[in-house]
Amino acid sequence: MKSHYQVLIIGGGTAGIMTAAQLLRKNRKLDIAIIEPSETHYYQPAWTLVGAGAYDFKKTAKPMADVMPSGADWIKDKAKAFQPEQNTVSTESSGDITYDFLVVAPGLVMEPSMIKGLPEAFEKGVACSNYIDPDFTWETIRNFKGGNALFTQPTTPIKCGGAPQKIAYLAADYFGKNGLKNKTNVIFATPGSVIFGVKEIRETLMKVIDRYGIHFKPFYAPKEIDVENKIVHFSHTAPEENRCIINEDNDLGEVMIGDVDIQVPFDMLHLAPPQAAPKFVRDSVLANASGWLDVDHHSMQHNKFGNIFGLGDVAALPTAKTGAAVRKQVPVVVDNILKLMEHKSADNKSYNGYSSCPLVTGYGKMTLAEFDYNNNFIPDPKLKRILVFNSDKEHWRLWMLKKYGLPNLYWNKMMKGKNV
């Protein structure tokens, strides 16, 4: 077992595999290893569709061995600590491994315990989540008979910020098609102030919310699940002058106690659990004050250690944590590492915060949000040529892209290090 590599990558997810594959395409002789304990690699963007019964969960999984780039060593182990001054990563069972360059891309972890009662709600099947078990979400939607269907998300950063609302739209569409519309209150509660940060997309989504009659609740931060009584307690995050008065006899059975405790009863609950960087990252010198990997927003180079880069979900970048963001981050990281190898400076600072969120708005309908750090809507010109319309509107062609085009692009291009 080797204990030193030119490039050591932590994480066999989208970011880690793509980085290794693109580096090896540029130079087959590079000495690269990927530390990754999992046996299975998942295409997680399809889990939204799995949760709505529109995609087979098994098709989202491939053996990790099949996606590992040939030419890279796979260290089947967990990273547990960094010693960046010594260019060393400690692992659970393979000892210390040293490197010339380190790429930190372990993704993030689910932390349900950050909301009181949430672990028990998952355990007892009172709550479902596409982030954890999308097949159970579909079972929950299929067996729903009416009442309050509550969809919400935490105050922490999360993978694909649009995912918690996509399943609300699909569920609302499903309930409507199955005669449950008049027996159901679909509620979407978010700690945020708006449904989506990009103006063009926000306008489309407000029409979608209106079409389904969804009760949209901004400024609602979930803080506790009362599992026995099936009630979610929310904090109201709005400035006081913006708080609406809640009447206790409303349709939803919503109750406000004092200024900040809002109680919403539910018959079905779907939520994105709170999420955080893995513990070995957030407890390390590489993390910022919020526990995310402290990297430059444009070059992904670590702000303190020049031979370390971080990208993907673990990185402290003020943009959405998506595979689309990774697709634009990887070439910048690869270029900068190759420059450093030639004793040049890592001066590629071209990442502009690009991310995209395919917002499924119903069966056979989708809008595609593409945006940068400033929430500018920046649709891909190539895609526009194919679609012949702006992707901020709902369209069946975008649904086809989500269901067939993007998985194909992922497995056959992104995972193989090809330019996309």
Q: What is the structure's pLDDT at 383?
A: 75
Whole-angstrom distance, CA of residue 279 vs CA of residue 80: 9
| Bridge-based pairing state of the strands 215-217 and 365-371 | unpaired
Q: What is the structure's pLDDT at 386?
A: 72
Q: Per the structure block, which two tokens stand in for 274?
A: 């709170």
Q: What is the structure's pLDDT at 238?
A: 80
Do the domains spanning 4-108+277-351 and 115-274 agree at the CATH topology level? Answer: yes
Angstrom distances, CA of residue 24 to CA of 14, 16, 68: 16, 12, 12
244 is an active site residue: no
Phi/psi for 180 (5° steps) reads: -105, 0
Task: Kindly name the residue from 72, 160, 272, 337 that is annotated as catalytic.
Answer: 160
Given the candidates 1.10.340.30, 3.20.20.190, 3.40.50.261, 3.50.50.60, the CATH classification of the domain at 115-274 is 3.50.50.60
Q: What is the structure's pLDDT at 239?
A: 74
Q: How big is the chain, counted in residues?
A: 420
The superfamily in CATH containing domain 4-108+277-351 is: FAD/NAD(P)-binding domain (3.50.50.60)
Task: Kindly name the residue from 332, 357, 369, 406 that is annotated as catalytic.
Answer: 357
Whole-angstrom distance, CA of residue 346 vs CA of residue 340: 6
241 near 234, Cβ under 8 Å? Answer: no
160 is an active site residue: yes
Note down pLDDT in tens along the chain; length 420 residues: 799 999 999 999 999 999 999 999 999 999 999 999 999 999 999 999 999 999 999 999 999 999 999 999 999 999 999 999 999 999 999 999 999 999 999 999 999 999 999 999 999 999 999 999 999 999 999 999 999 999 999 999 999 999 999 999 999 999 999 999 999 999 999 999 999 999 999 999 999 999 999 999 999 999 999 999 999 999 988 876 565 655 555 789 998 887 778 999 999 999 999 999 999 999 999 999 999 999 999 999 999 999 999 999 999 999 999 999 999 999 999 999 999 999 999 999 999 999 999 999 999 999 999 999 999 999 988 777 777 678 999 999 999 999 999 999 999 999 999 987
Q: Per the structure block, which two tokens stand in for 402?
A: 């989500």
Partners of residue 281 on adjacent β-strands: none
The residue extents of the domains of the chain are 4-108+277-351, 115-274
275 near 111, Cβ under 8 Å? Answer: yes
User: Is pTM beyond 0.85 here?
Assistant: yes
Q: At what angle do helices 199-212 and 163-177 cross, to 10 degrees?
A: 30
Residue 267 half-sphere exposure toward CB, CA atoms < 13 A: 14
303 near 317, Cβ under 8 Å? Answer: no
